[in-house]
Amino acid sequence: MNASAPAPLTQDELKTQVGQAALQYVVPGEIVGVGTGSTVNKFIEALATVKDRIRGAVSSSVASTERLRALGIEVFDSNEVEDLSVYIDGADEIDGHGFMIKGGGAALTREKIVAAQSRRFVCIADLSKRVEVLGAFPLPVEVIPMAARRVMRQFEKLGGMAHVRERDGLPLVTDNGQHILDVTGLKISDPLAFESEVSQWPGVVTVGVFAHQKANVCLLGTPTGVQTLN
Ligand code: 5RP
């Protein structure tokens, strides 16, 4: 009888692979920037195995903070830390330049802040996140609630359709007390210009295009192993 071929790795296993692979970018003795999401949760589990070799973390969400602390990793306020050598986070989409869509977990504002204070952004993602052009994933935009309708109309002028993200039938409230719009129908061919423009609209807190804070390295989980894209 022929030995059967090994079962293909599940998406969860691909996330575990890249979460573990990201440990090689953690600098001993330093504070690590930590993102948010299911892939980052795998990284946090891996980080806990080396927690005695790092000073702690700056976290991009209440959810990640709770997870880090539960595993015995000290969490610092970003204001207590001058800069970080590395920020590890996931993405909803990433293109060949390292430009990303983020915010599927509603943590985009704090993610952008921690990314901005980090010298290197390492994106960890499974193969399904790699795209040629950003925009198939609904673009998250954190907005001040009183500006939501106006911002939605502005996206309509760009050919997008925006709706307010809900949880349990009510607008989702972010860690910062604001709302999230999810915008479909966009094809973001110039992410730098798009991010610059939308960021200036009154009432927009953060747009989920990460082009100015792009990934410097992407660890992509594939069925044949982790690919490193620089
Ligand atoms: C949260 C994010 C996440 O990085 C993004 O949504 C990817 O999450 P996951 O690893 O669960 O697919 O931007 O705001």
Pairing of strands 170-171, 166-167: antiparallel
Chain centroid offset of residue 71 CA: 21
Write down the pLDDT at residue 3.
Answer: 60
Reading the block at residue 11, the tokens are 């998406």
Please tell me the chain's helix, strand, coil percentages from 3-state DSSP, rounded to the nearest 5: 35, 30, 40
Kindly give, in sequence order, each residue whose CB lies less than 8 Å from that of residue 228, ignoring residues fewer than 6 positions away: 217, 218, 219, 220
- The rounded Å distance from CA 110 to ligand 1 centre is 13
Write down the pLDDT at residue 1.
Answer: 43
Chain centroid offset of residue 126 CA: 13
Provide the 10 A C-beta neighbour count for residue 166: 12
- Output DSSP code: residue 214: -
Residue closest to 100 by CA, chosen among 126, 75, 129: 129
Q: What is the pLDDT of residues 13-37, one digit of tens each?
A: 999 999 999 999 999 999 999 999 9
Q: Report the distance separating Cα 79 and Cα 117, nearest Å.
A: 10
Reading the block at residue 153, the tokens are 């109309």
208 annotated ligand-binding residue: no
- pTM attached to this predicted model: 0.94
From 11, 102, 165, 178, the mutation candidate for ligand 1 (largest count of ligand atoms within 8 A of CB) is 102
Within a 13 Å sphere around the CA of 12, how many CA atoms are in the beta-carbon half?
A: 0
- The rounded Å distance from CA 87 to ligand 1 centre is 14
Active-site residue set: 111
Q: Report the distance separating Cα 16 and Cα 193, nearest Å.
A: 34
Average pLDDT (212-218) is: 97
Q: What is the pLDDT of residues 178-199, one digit of tens each?
A: 999 999 999 999 999 999 999 9
Asked if 178 and 143 touch (Cβ cutoff 8 Å), the reply is yes
- The rounded Å distance from CA 124 to ligand 1 centre is 10
| Closest residue CA from atom 7 of ligand 1 | 91
Q: Report the distance separating Cα 219 and Cα 125, nearest Å.
A: 6
SS3 70: helix
Does 177 score more than 90 pLDDT?
A: yes
pLDDT range class, residue 91, cuts 50, 70, 90 = very high
Does 155 score more than 50 pLDDT?
A: yes
Write down the pLDDT at residue 83.
Answer: 94
Q: Which residues line ligand 1 (CB under 6 A)?
A: 35-39, 89-92, 102-108, 111
pLDDT range class, residue 169, cuts 50, 70, 90 = very high
